[in-house]
Amino acid sequence: MTTPTRTRRTTPAPHSSAELIRAEAPVLAHNYHPLPVVIARAEGAWVEDVEGRRYLDLLAGYSALNFGHRHPALTAAAHHQLDRLTLTSRAFHHDRLAGFAEGLAQLTGLDMVLPMNTGAEAVESAIKVARKWAYEVKGVARDQATIVVAAENFHGRTTTIVGFSSDDTARAGFGPFTPGFRVVPFNDLAALEAAIDETTAAVLIEPIQGEAGVVIPDDGYLTGVRNLTRRAGCLFIADEIQSGLGRTGRTLAVDHESVVPDVLLLGKALGGGIVPVSAVLARREVLGVLRPGEHGSTFGGNPLAAAVGSAVVDLLATGEFQRRAAELGEVLRTGLAALAGRGITGFRARGLWAGVDIDPAIATGREISERLMDEGVLVKDTHGATIRLAPPLTITREELDSALASLEKVLGQSS
């Protein structure tokens, strides 16, 4: 039997944006619909395509780049660690893990850390932990534990997670789905209370729903969730993978109501835009239900991830980025308010994070995103008529003002 040979590329490698985009089509799964820009370099709040055109990045990797592209403290931590040790697996200890976990626990006010890699892994891990806690601590009958979630949620793309999504694009064609979840409207405490019973292990929500269009609940909602879960004897799991780590003007979005969840999920910005890093943080009696062999991850908490994650914690410990997000967030809110009725039908903003609803009479969210790209500003649409703004927390007032001026310009061109 002959061994198949791999053919080498005989034509010149593509180099223009158009050529590179065409080259992707036959070899990449079509799970995304990106804007037609091919980024080759980046620094701070700016990216540059292969032709050398520069763009102001107002998406920041869906909050993964909270500290901008190639923040010097984060790249220095990564370079230093790359020269020492990158991976051991959790079969052995390494010298960066304890410091990372201690710093992250101190930053968030929780006791223990379960390091993982991606946001979806953190959510899946929290589901496992909540169920095990329900059986071993709460006393729920075996295999009867339920978890209450909010409609319009986005917690990831695994089959378990899309099974409790209300987005048909995420669900359709991927069943059958894992049972044990109850879906209630977001921002509805009465519906939440009605859904909780003696089988409820946890309530899992995003304090601000990002993918849904930066949907911010009423004041008091998070406090209500905390009170309901405490009275019912179930866990409050806060998914802060997008909303956390400075994005909203506080370290965590739950900090706006001084709420401490039982379980906290972090990711995206925790890796500094360099490596995927996520974590489940919880009270000791919750994460303490895990025993050796019951859960794991080869790369979870690896030395490179721990080094970068520790540098992220150090940046946040100063409070500088939380303050910047709060102060510049007022600039963002004021600028968007001035555009109300002039091409946008509404917006929701907290810190440097906003969902902007485009008047469908003038354009779709995708069309506005493409027109902003032509003006040198990158954003991304969601749910047809909404664009999301999530600039790096390192953006300057002048850069933010320029981006808002570009938005005003393209809205004016579209009307």
- 393 contacts 324 by C-beta, under 8 angstroms: yes
Q: Which of 268, 321, 380, 381 is catalytic?
A: 268
- 37 contacts 49 by C-beta, under 8 angstroms: yes
Which of 150, 146, 144 has the alpha carbon at shortest distance from 196?
146
- Determine how β-strand 181-184 pairs with β-strand 146-150: parallel
Among this protein's residues, is 92 annotated catalytic?
A: no
Cα–Cα dist 300/121, whole Å: 10
Which run of H or of E encompasses 150?
Answer: strand 146-150
Among this protein's residues, is 239 annotated catalytic?
A: yes
Nearest-10 Cα torsion for 187, 190, 193, 194:
-120
- β-sheet bridge partners, residue 357: 346, 386
**DSSP reduced 3-state for 46:** strand
Angle at 321 between CA 316 and CA 325, to 5 degrees: 140
Chain CA centroid to CA 271, Å: 11
Q: Which of 154, 186, 236, 321 is catalytic?
A: 154
Q: Which of 49, 100, 186, 239 is catalytic?
A: 239
C-alpha distances out from residue 307 to 319, 370, 410, Å: 20, 37, 42
- β-sheet bridge partners, residue 44: 69
Nearest-10 Cα torsion for 383, 387, 388, 389:
180
Following DSSP, what letter does each residue of 68-82 receive, concatenated? Answer: -BT-HHHHHHHHHHH
Cα–Cα dist 303/84, whole Å: 9
Among this protein's residues, is 154 annotated catalytic?
A: yes
One-letter amino acid at 29 equals A
Cα–Cα dist 236/160, whole Å: 19
| Catalytic residue annotation | 154, 239, 268
